């Protein structure tokens, strides 16, 4: 009898509960009277050549092999489900060890979600293209920001001229200056990059629009002040401010999505590009024969997205209250019906930046045809994860009359 024939798992629905029925057919000639250990685990496996897998043990139980057929039942908690996405797989597995023999089998725990509001254009929903006019954005900056931008642009021009002069001088000064010229070029590139990065960070005009989290919500783990299925908000609860300029064709959109997270290992030679400009500088300065090092990296992939709210205002005049133009009800029910619940495996305080599993998030996007777009991501800690497994609330009765 093969291992697959000796161990069978089936998930059965009994009322509102799911049970994993584990049927184990031991070889009594070899294992009669021996102690066996059964383990049930949920594993997160990134789809990467050098993955960092993680597992959490859900059940560990010992028993004595005495019968031709052992049937074990495991009441699946409501938060247990398997998932296969574009970046990670959440896999449930049963392992039975008897003596020197090891039997294992994977099984699926399906979770039904609505999926009626899912968008086909994931990239366009989560990361819409930002087409803006540099000229108009510059004149909407504050006076101090305009001055700093002009100074940094002038500094970039000086760096280019000085670096070019050094190269012209070095090319006519004979051999032996190649190393010096290379270092000068790297330093010039590094300084110009820093200046341009600072300009980019300044280039968001003050429109007067502010995104806020309603004061009755809390991120504390055990707090009752969370977003639930029956929570009621208007969009203006999250968007405030007085418009500082006329806004034509401004569009406000609220989106939510699942996000798949897991670490992987990557060999790095020289500097790490993810460290920004300093990483690129180290990488360029490192020799080709530099010894590499294995680095753990975190990857996050948006795999599913929904649009919760979308409205365009033809003209929002300067001096007007922004919230007054976006005062519709913000229905968050699709977050709990169409997205998968959070399932983060093996997250610890000491390794909070490297965790496995499925999360979710919500983002406000303020888009304008010619101005730099704004966005605000709502921390998933404001949501109550248990609401993903609660029953939908009945709609309130219509008002009399």
DSSP collapsed to 3 states, the chain: CCHHHHEEEEEEEECCEEEEEEEECCCHHHHCCCEEEEEEEEEEEECCCCECCEEEEEEEEEEECCCCCEEEEEEECCCCCCEECCCEEEEEEEEEEECCEEEEEEECCCCCCCCCCECCCHHHHHCCCCCCCHHHHHHCCCHHHHHHHHHHHHHHHHHHHHHHHHHHHHHCCCCCCHHHHHHHHHHHHHHHHHHHHHHHHHCCCCCCCEECCCCCCCCCCCCCCCECCCCCEEHHHCEECECCCCEEEEEEEEEEEEEEEEEEEEEECCCCHHHCHHHHHHHHHCCCCCCCEEEEEEEEEEEEEEEEEEEEEEEECCCCECHHHCCCEECCHHHHHHCCCCEEECCCHHHCCCCEEEEEEEEEEEECCCCCCEEEEECHHHECHHHHHCCCCCCCCCCCC
Phi, psi of 281 (to 5 degrees): -65, -45
The pLDDT score that the predictor gives to residue 349 is: 44
Regarding predicted confidence, which is higher, 285 or 51? Answer: 51
Cβ neighbours of residue 306 under 8 Å, at least 6 residues apart? 117, 118, 119, 125, 255, 256, 257, 334, 335, 338, 339
Low-confidence winner among 10-24, 143-157, 269-283, 329-343 (lowest mean pLDDT): 269-283
What is the pLDDT at residue 54?
92
Identify the residue with better confidence: 187 or 233.
Answer: 233
Percentage of residues in the chain with pLDDT exceeding 90? 38
Domains of the chain: 3-107 (2.60.40.640), 122-134+206-270+297-389 (no CATH)
Q: Which of 137, 88, 135, 395 is nearest to 258 (CA)?
A: 88
Spatial separation of the C-alpha atoms in residues 176 and 31, rounded to whole Å: 78
Give residue-wise pLDDT tens across range 162-209. 777 666 665 655 555 555 666 666 676 777 777 666 666 656 667 778
What is the pLDDT, as a whole number, of residue 160?
74
Residue 276: per-residue pLDDT = 54
Number of alpha carbons in the 13 Å side-chain half-sphere of residue 175? 0
- Among the ranges 69-73, 225-229, 240-244, 367-371, which has the highest mean pLDDT value? 69-73
Q: Look at phi and psi of residue 286 and say left if phi exceeds 0, alpha if psi is from -120 to 50, else beta.
A: beta
Q: What is the pLDDT of residues 75-99, one digit of tens each?
A: 998 888 999 998 999 999 999 999 8
pLDDT tens column, 333-360: 999 999 999 888 865 544 455 788 998 8
- Confidence grade of residue 114 (pLDDT, cut at 50, 70, 90): confident
Full-model pTM: 0.74
CA 243 from centre of chain? 31
């Amino acid at each position: 009898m093969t291992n697959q024939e000796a161990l069978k798992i089936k998930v059965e629905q009994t009322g509102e509960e799911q049970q994993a029925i584990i049927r184990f057919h031991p070889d009594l000639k070899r294992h009669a009277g021996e102690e066996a250990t059964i383990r049930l685990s949920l594993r997160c496996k990134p789809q990467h050549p050098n993955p960092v897998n993680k597992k959490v043990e859900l059940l560990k139980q010992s028993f004595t092999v005495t019968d031709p057929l052992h049937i074990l039942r495991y009441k699946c908690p409501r938060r247990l489900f398997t998932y296969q996405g574009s970046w990670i797989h959440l896999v449930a597995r049963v392992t039975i060890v008897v003596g020197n023999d090891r039997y294992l089998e994977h099984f699926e725990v399906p979770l039904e979600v609505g999926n009626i509001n899912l968008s086909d254009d994931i990239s366009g929903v989560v990361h819409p293209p930002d087409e803006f006019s540099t000229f108009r954005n510059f004149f909407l900056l504050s006076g101090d920001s305009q001055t700093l931008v002009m100074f940094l642009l002038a500094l970039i021009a000086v760096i280019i001229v000085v670096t070019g002069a050094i190269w012209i001088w070095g090319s006519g000064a004979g051999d032996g200056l190649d190393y010096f010229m290379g270092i000068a070029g790297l330093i010039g590139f590094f300084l110009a990059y820093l200046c341009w990065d600072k300009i980019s960070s300044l280039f968001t005009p003050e429109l007067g629009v502010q995104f806020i989290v309603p004061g009755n919500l809390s991120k504390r783990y055990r707090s009752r002040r969370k977003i639930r299925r029956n929570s009621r908000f208007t969009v203006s609860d999250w968007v405030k401010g007085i418009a500082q300029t006329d806004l034509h064709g401004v569009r406000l959109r609220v989106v939510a999505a699942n996000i798949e997270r897991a670490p992987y290992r990557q060999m790095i030679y020289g500097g790490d590009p993810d460290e920004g400009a300093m990483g690129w500088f180290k990488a360029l300065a490192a020799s080709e024969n530099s010894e590499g090092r294995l680095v753990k990296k975190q990857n996050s992939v948006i795999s599913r997205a929904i649009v919760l709210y979308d409205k365009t205002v033809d003209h929002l005049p300067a001096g007007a209250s922004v919230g007054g133009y976006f005062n519709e009800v913000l229905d968050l029910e699709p977050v709990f019906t169409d997205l998968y619940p959070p399932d983060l495996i093996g997250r610890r305080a000491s390794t909070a930046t490297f965790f496995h599993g499925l999360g979710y998030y919500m983002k406000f996007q303020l888009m304008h045809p010619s101005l730099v777009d704004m966005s605000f991501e709502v921390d998933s800690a404001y949501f109550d994860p248990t609401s993903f497994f609660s029953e939908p609330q009945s709609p309130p009765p219509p008002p009399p009359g």
